[in-house]
Structure 1
């Protein structure tokens, strides 16, 4: 009874999952069933392709592991061969060292013991006997050793790697190998073995054996290993000592490079300082290089592509149906949401369609409007004739591209302005079935336009009333876009006045920032951004035709039609220029007066200075007269006395001439001036006044100073004034004779990145109070009871007119004021200044 029950339960358990999958499949929508039906073949093809790739990858991994294991085994075998060869050579070197320690081998016999070893074993390059003082007793080398690596008997080891190994062998008393290092530009390094000598238990030197690493690789490595792999010997830093490594190989089937298999192992007994590495290219093509893989992959991709293409074609048809429904709903929603009223008329003028915006504008519903014929309910009473005429033009096809403006009546009786645009209504077969009209409420735009018109009128009135000429003209054209009243009064209604202002003021565009072609003006090819964002430029010009001085300002702007234009504003500044010229003339007279006052203050000193040559002339003349009357003078003595008299007269004349030139100078004349000559003239005039105050004057002028563009008399006036003020400050401070000095220094400097000449006058007076420093250069400010307060103000004006700056400061010794220093600088002359000076000197000038 139990046996039939078990099979029944098993069948029920098997059928349950199948029924579950069937129920799940039937619960899906047809669209989702189509998707799963299309994806199942694609998934199976992709799984098959993945299985093929995994199989190829597994075989490839197994083959690579076999190649690596064979490489590891062969490298370890080669390392053992090299190790045994080194141990054999080490044993032979140790026998030589033992015989040397026991004194069984003399110095003369050392070469006979070393020569057979070097000739028999190619890797041995040299054997050297070195005593305990690092002196070479004997050495024998192979012919292949370079001259730089030879060791000569009697020399001492140079500091370096060999001496370091020598010290280690001496300390450890056992054979040691060096750690060879590859160096660029030098010969191939040698592997060194040093075996200690121990005569009677003491350290007696070493036997140095040097191996060629290249020969050790060539003769120590088995031939079958060298034939199968690229074997190289490396140092501890991974640099190649012998052999040639394999470069990365580029596979023709792959777009990247592949590295070769390699294995490294240290060479005993040298240790990590000498590493053997073997490399070999992989012999298999791998998964990607297999033709069968590409065939299976191509077939799988093509099958999957065809299945996906069929599925996508089905999806596109469904999407097109959904898009059509969505487009219909979107257009209906768009028509109901736009603020522009839409109205459709048939060919007889009957309304066949209105949208929600049209109904909202007029106040009538769609049911009330559809089916109406002219006159429509939204036409204002009293305008039927004009509206009928517009409708006849509309139905006959006489439409205006820009639309036309009408008045529309709402259901509430109010009126508003609207603009109508008419276009033909074409059906799907290309036949016209009526006219489509769009209506826009323009009541608010009309109000804004009226306000703009009023604002433009006010703007025009303001510009017409300006006391400046305003004109606007496009670049590259002689059209005058705008001109106010004063411009028309000066130049008329032509562009010639605008162009004349632009040309004389020099405000034409000269450089522009580079930009794309989209940023260029269509007429001139000028970039609009760089010009319209530029700041206005000011220039002052004189127009002989008008007899006026004008200040011209220019700015680039985009005109209302999009063209790049230039606006020029010209202001009459003739009264201001006349006032400036009068002020300049007064300043010149003030400078002359200041020089006269200075010379008046120096009059007693000048008289004393002239008294000396005049007294000498009188004495010479009196002496000559008395000696001639007494007949006690010879012709030679008379000639000498006359020469001295002429020299004193010439000296007096020079003093008078220099004072006259200083006082009479009135017209500024800037020329290329020599600093040395200018300072010498000022020092000679000021030294008279300084000696009167018992003040010692010293001056230093740097050698080979370049020229400056200056008026020499004005700069001499500044220097004399500063030195005179310094002498007066010392006199007021009652300094002792040893502390009464004024120093003038002239040196080159750099200020704000340009070269200048700095003049400084330093005295040992009592300095300046802080409240005096604050007002020092102001006009009519003076610390002297009889002073006018114009000297330093004129000095600063003269310096600033030469593009220079003046500065004053106290000198301190700790907290004590020990004097004052006035300094100013003048810029160096430029090439343009030299050109102007040459042109000025070539033109004759008449100076009174």
Structure 2
């Protein structure tokens, strides 16, 4: 009896141990899964906190960098406004009125001074927003801060700043100030005194100091001035520093942000990850059961997919499928080759496709929204423009149709694309040939009209000059000097008109013109009276800059004067905008190196560069591509021949006519002439 019970008990005990081992293994796996999920949650919470801190710091660094850029731009504009007070060699009283007006507009300035070459004061104005804090005897030529800034400005040939220094006020108060020294062309300096605190208030964005502290510090961290909100208890400090590198002075812009830590973001993320983790475990259990069924279904679908793919890969028409949300669900190799993007790049693009041109993206979004809303595309298709991965554009013909499933329910849209670049290229060649023929005919007509007008206008101009000479003879000795001067001007302009007409006639007939050595100042003096009339009408200030010791240039004086006059008029018309306040036309002559093939020749000539700069709205890329094309113009009353003729005249002299963007705005036209 006992011999039979022992094996049964042993088997029972073995089964019990086996059940316990299986139960322990199952619970061990669940415990391990729980530990892993808990570790994941802790890691996510920690990473979320680190992410929030890094986001706050990155935002603070970006705002500080933007504030430094705004500060530099504001200082540059102030320097330009300060320089403008010397336009036209003003008198001391006129300059004082301009300085007072500037001080009312710029609270950051405490004082503006005009000093001669020896730093002796010529005139000074104080801000109306503070009591005068400077003693005139102490603002002499021996003041160290001003002398230091002006010495640096003289070495740099431009503006310079002095290191910040402290100015004491009454009742133990004081201000941290900085001097700006700006050399002027007529000799001497303009000195402006900045209040560092007001500089922060006026030129740094107000939102930067909202909820945080903004300060100027020395390079070693010494705080000079600060504005904003002091630190609150229980907050973290986020600090960002940016270097404000000014000529002659170095400052640090420091921003201290206060932030309570952490926000609700990590808590929401933790709950979200926990829910997703539980759902993931449940989905894994369900997927394990469904795997067998899917494997059987995949075997049947593999053959069908292989057959369909072979057919789609063999066509040369691009195919694209989108779902009802606008996401790309399928593209064939022909489409990928057409746009230059891989299948993965197109699938990850989302709602905005990477092959949409930037300038047409809004139009394509509207068209896609209309399709997704149920709009029916035209059956004959429509044309559009796509962009390859390398940025090149090409035209396509698109056919679209609803994409329906086995239940006849629409699941998206299927599109077919045909590249019509070659067709458009042939059409463009044909159109360009027609345009060249038309342009040649119009140029021939213009040449004939120019020859006819030059012949017909010569006699009336000669008669005007004769009448003017006769009038001068009659007025000689009569005491009517003003009338005689006016008649003399009429004679001069009639002679100038005759020269222009003869130059145009010779230019059209391709005759060699007589060139002479002319001083740059003479060329500018000839056109400035005519430019000044239009400048006064449009409210444009003219600024002429000539480098010292410029030699003469070899040129056809009449044609080059017309080039300068045409460029100056174009520049002033570009600034004829009601919203534009600063209208300055800058004419400059300086030395330039030889350009083009002349630079590579062993006997390369030297050149002078003439530049005409405006502060208008600039030239767009589309206009720049056709700027020198004959008969192309952006004005309703223009003929489109001015710039084309100007470039032809400059190139006949061996030079080149170029243009580039002006800073901070506008355009600069430059052309070169050979030195005598």
Same fold by TM-score greater than 0.5: no
TM-score normalised to structure 1 length: 0.26
- Larger RCO, structure (CA 8 Å, separation 6 or more): 2
Structure number with greater Rg is 1
